Amino acid sequence: MKSLIFSLLFIIANINFAIAAPGDVTAGKGKAAMCSACHGASGISAVDAYPNLAGQHADYITKQLKAFKAGDRKDSVMAPMAAGLSEQDMADLGAYFASLPRTVATASVDDSVTTTAVVQAAVKYVANASAGKSLYELGDESRSIGACMGCHGKDGNSNVLIYPNLAKQHAQYIEKQLHAFKDNSRTNFAMNQFAGAMTDEEIADMGAYFADTKAVANVKVRRVQTVAPVTAAVIAGKSKSAVCASCHAVDGNSLVAMYPKLAGQSADYLTKQLKEFKNGTRKDPIMAGMVAALSEQDMIDISAYFAAQKANKGNGEGSAIGRQLYFNGNVAKGITACVACHGVNGKGMGKAGFPAIASQNTTYLTAQLHNFKKATRENDRNSMMRNIAKKLKKNDIEELVKFMSTMK
């Protein structure tokens, strides 16, 4: 037994030893010589297909190099470049490129360059930078496209380290990546959802916006949320949901503050929750009993029914501080803006499974944010909510909840 413990300790000690030291700018500079052929001597590349690396977040660069090496991100040019790099090399290269200024605006405003992706189409589409900027800042809740600005920052200057800087990036490269996320050849859960819902024209608009970030957003483009249509599932769900009414009310506008409203919630999100109450991924003794007898079809029908109901006014009192945090996050504390995933109107991104939080009961919202913070609720994909909630202080949660429940 003792020798087993000793050998375990030995292994652990060696693992620690193998972990790369923090990146070193000077060492990285030496190692970057082979990268400069494509990415430019100062990390600003001369060719549109090669991304600028100067001023990119070090962690992001390191993550991408690992992904190219492991084949999780596929690119025939970068795979062999990354193959020979050790973790230490990657950390050093990340630190070096992050230290360089991204000063030169490189993007071209020539439409023939920024719309290459749609040139194949019979009629050449003239990309619209203002439309691109509007979509970037507001997203489109009705089609589950997140507000890009919430994660990538104003005009692409992201201050949250896990989200890449897009500012002063080559427009053509941005478009190529959006197409790669759209056809899932590059994988990232959130980006696959958002780009997947974008049309080729919108991708071209996004490129045009990055070629000309001085474009003025056309706020009139703000879309309205579509109400879920009444389908056969909605009708079937109505009778199946009778047993839920005692707590969630007949129309899903529960009157007791600790019970969530289900009215107007995204159907995909509701079905996910019901399945997870049943398989125990989301733990709640009351709901576990309620879903035990439901089949998958029952869950789909009930969810469709509640999704088609209109949510009534929330019980919050409003908060300017909460509003600010919701729309802008907090760069210093590394809090991602909620708007990125929950939308401008708080209606969520239904197809991506991001829930509506507008008009929701305050007691319920508060409880869930604390549950994510304490990780007693851990059914969020990729820890998306836990990573954010752990950075929220008790009073941040109070202000956010006061604001969110007034959204409609």
Report the site for ligand HEC in 333-392 (rule: CB under 6 A).
Answer: 335-336, 338, 340-342, 353-355, 357, 365, 367-369, 379-381, 384-385, 388
**Is residue 308 at the binding interface for ligand HEC, with CB under 6 A as the rule?**
no
DSSP string, 177-223: HHHHHHTTSS--HHHHHHHHHS-HHHHHHHHHHHH-TTPPP-GGGPP
Residue 358 to residue 256: CA distance in whole angstroms: 16
Residue 235 to residue 272: CA distance in whole angstroms: 20
Cβ proximity to ligand HEC, 218 vs 246, nearer residue: 246
Cβ proximity to ligand HEC, 6 vs 189, nearer residue: 189
Choosing from 131, 148, 208, 308, the residue that interacts with ligand HEC (CB under 6 A) is 148
Provide the CA 28 distance to its chain's centre, in angstroms: 30
**Is residue 273 at the binding interface for ligand HEC, with CB under 6 A as the rule?**
yes
Choosing from 114, 177, 193, 266, the residue that interacts with ligand HEC (CB under 6 A) is 177
Residues 184-203 binding ligand HEC (CB under 6 A) are: 188, 190-191, 194
Residue 108 to residue 212: CA distance in whole angstroms: 8
Smallest gap from Cβ 337 to ligand HEC, in A, equals 7
Element of type H or E holding 332: none
Cβ proximity to ligand HEC, 9 vs 320, nearer residue: 320
Smallest gap from Cβ 174 to ligand HEC, in A, equals 4
Q: Looking at 110-118, 220-228, 260-268, 309-317, which segment touches ligand HEC (CB under 6 A)?
A: 260-268
Smallest gap from Cβ 105 to ligand HEC, in A, equals 16
Q: Which long-range contacts (CB under 8 A, 24 or more apart) does 122-128 make?
A: 125/200, 125/201, 125/204, 127/201, 127/204, 127/205, 127/207, 127/208, 128/205, 128/208
Q: Looking at 6-14, 34-42, 98-106, 211-219, which segment touches ligand HEC (CB under 6 A)?
A: 34-42
Cβ proximity to ligand HEC, 7 vs 184, nearer residue: 184
Residues 286-305 binding ligand HEC (CB under 6 A) are: 286-287, 290, 302
**Is residue 207 at the binding interface for ligand HEC, with CB under 6 A as the rule?**
no
Considering only CA atoms, give the Rg of the chain: 24
**Is residue 272 at the binding interface for ligand HEC, with CB under 6 A as the rule?**
yes
**For residue 329, what is the DSSP state?**
-
Q: Looking at 1-9, 104-112, 159-167, 214-222, which segment touches ligand HEC (CB under 6 A)?
A: 159-167
Helices (H), 198-295: 200-211, 232-240, 245-248, 267-279, 285-291
Smallest gap from Cβ 319 to ligand HEC, in A, equals 12
Residue 113 to residue 107: CA distance in whole angstroms: 9
Cβ proximity to ligand HEC, 111 vs 384, nearer residue: 384
| φ/ψ (deg, to 5) at 148 | -55, -35
Residues 70-129 binding ligand HEC (CB under 6 A) are: 75, 77-78, 81, 93
CA distances (Å), 38 to each of 30, 42, 53, in order? 16, 11, 10
